[in-house]
């Protein structure tokens, strides 16, 4: 469910006409619905209420401060993968006891900052990380609470770049070596083992990988019990897919039913790290048509946003729903919708049936709320777009559009080029 709807042929976000925002702030811009975000979070929480979950929003999906604060005010925690995301979580008011630090490349500085901040736990990815964490904890006279990320070697049937639980993945302890990792963690003086973590991938559209992953992890919990290691937490990760165009992911209630059936009776606290499922369909990217270009082979619609603004189609070959912001009775044509970046991969759709649009008209790319702005770049020395939040009949610019001065403010000309 989302709050982007057409009224008399004009696209609205909640009660605000999107044309109006474009006229007042220009394009391109990301646009998010407060009500959709709030509803998605509460639906996730309600579906799992039987096991009283700790829901840690995955900051990597969208780390704008205003977005993160919505989840913090709703009582959510945070899953972070960098010192920057950790600082963001603390500054928007997330309780340290609800913060989980994941990732496979934590630095000593980041670990120290997290320990001083008294976060809930670290998702540990390797033996070397365990040893470094123990060393930093010792120097700070702390004891770090950890769960080991275990790689169950499962194919989640998603894009290869989104699969994180395969044996060849860079993430987590090999399942067959996990017991050795736990024994090391148990023996390290400044480490407290708190449980187990799995994350098998992202944009998963079947329940089967979750079932198989949980079964393997629960079997490992039994092995840990035999060697005297108690499991206080099981971190199920994230990964539940959403509808972008024609996908058929499991509904949230069915996902929750499966997870609850596996965790009930274990007397273990469940942690969840949703990102895409909360934010993906809560946001769109609005662009303006710059040109029509007709060749002997193709008709191109060139818009003012590019792969630097929204990289998913180029990076993951992702297909998104795209619609005119104002619908008219126009005959459909087959077009490529492309951006202005000097790369052949700079496209949003290829060979797409689309109503004829002209220069100056607005297009909306749906499903852009997650991994949109957070993956944006300044490639081709382009300014990143604005971000806007709508609540009811009001809208708020929550990130100003970058300027040329923003792009060069951290550059420094060496003396040898000043003469």
Span 94-104, pLDDT tens digits? 999 999 999 99
Mean residue pLDDT across the chain: 93
Neighbours of 410 (CB within 10 A): 6
Q: Which two tokens stand for residue 88?
A: 């963001």
**Cross-sheet strand order for the sheet of 4-7:** 4-7, 10-13, 16-17
Catalytic site residue from 56, 68, 342, 383: 342
- The tens digit of pLDDT for each residue in 182-217 reads 999 999 999 999 999 988 777 888 888 888 889 888
Residue 348 pLDDT exceeds 90: yes
- In terms of C-beta density within 10 A (0-12 exposed, 13-18 middle, 19 or more buried), how is residue 173 classed? buried
Cβ–Cβ under 8 Å, residues 162 and 203:
yes
Q: Which two tokens stand for residue 206?
A: 């079947």
Q: Which two tokens stand for residue 384?
A: 């990143």
Cβ–Cβ under 8 Å, residues 53 and 270:
yes
Question: 157 or 140, which is more confident?
Answer: 140
CA 133 from chain centre, in angstroms, equals 26
Query: What domains can be seen in the chain, in order of their start residue?
Result: 4-31+280-408 (2.40.37.10), 34-276 (3.20.20.10)
pLDDT value for 161:
42
Q: State pTM to two decimals.
A: 0.94
Residue 165 pLDDT exceeds 50: no
- Whether the ω angle into residue 374 lies within 30 degrees of 0, i.e. cis, is no
Task: Say whether 68 is catalytic.
Answer: no
**pLDDT class of 166 with cuts at 50, 70, 90:** very low
């Amino acid at each position: 469910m989302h709050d982007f709807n057409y009224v008399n042929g004009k696209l609205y976000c909640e009660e605000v006409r999107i044309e109006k925002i474009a006229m007042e702030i220009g394009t391109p811009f990301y646009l998010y619905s407060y009500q959709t975000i709030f509803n998605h979070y509460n639906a996730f929480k309600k579906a799992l209420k039987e096991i009283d979950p700790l829901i840690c929003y995955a900051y990597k999906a969208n780390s704008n401060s205003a977005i993160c604060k919505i989840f913090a005010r709703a009582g959510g925690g945070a899953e972070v993968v960098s010192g920057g995301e950790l600082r963001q979580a603390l500054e928007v008011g997330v309780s340290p006891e609800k913060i989980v630090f994941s990732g496979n490349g934590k630095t000593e500085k980041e670990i120290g900052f997290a320990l001083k901040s008294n976060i809930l736990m670290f998702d540990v990815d390797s033996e070397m990380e365990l040893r470094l964490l123990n060393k930093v904890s010792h120097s700070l006279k702390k004891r770090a609470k950890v769960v080991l990320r275990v790689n169950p070697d499962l194919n989640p049937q998603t894009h290869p770049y989104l699969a994180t639980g395969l044996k060849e993945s860079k993430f987590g302890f090999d399942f067959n070596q996990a017991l050795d990792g736990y024994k090391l963690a148990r023996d390290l003086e400044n480490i407290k083992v708190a449980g187990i973590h799995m994350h098998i991938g992202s944009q998963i559209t079947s329940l089967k990988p979750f079932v198989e992953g949980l079964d393997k992890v629960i079997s490992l919990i039994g092995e840990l019990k035999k060697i005297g290691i108690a499991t206080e937490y099981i971190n199920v990760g994230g990964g539940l897919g959403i509808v972008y165009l024609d996908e058929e992911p499991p509904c949230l209630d069915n996902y929750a039913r499966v997870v609850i059936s596996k965790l009930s009776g274990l007397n273990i606290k469940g942690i969840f790290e949703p990102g895409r499922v909360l934010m993906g369909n809560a946001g769109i990217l609005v662009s303006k048509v710059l040109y029509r270009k007709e060749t002997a082979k193709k008709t191109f619609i060139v818009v003012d946003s590019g792969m630097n603004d929204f990289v998913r189609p180029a990076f993951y070959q992702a297909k998104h729903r795209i619609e005119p912001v104002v619908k008219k009775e126009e005959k459909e044509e087959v077009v490529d919708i492309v951006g202005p970046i000097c790369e052949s991969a700079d496209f949003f759709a290829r060979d797409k049936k689309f109503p004829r649009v002209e220069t100056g008209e607005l297009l909306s790319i749906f499903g852009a709320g997650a991994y949109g702005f957070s993956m944006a770049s300044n490639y081709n020395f382009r300014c990143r777009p604005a971000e806007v939040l709508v609540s009811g009949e009001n809208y708020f610019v929550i990130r100003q559009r970058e300027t040329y001065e923003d792009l060069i403010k951290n550059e420094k000309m060496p003396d040898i080029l000043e003469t």
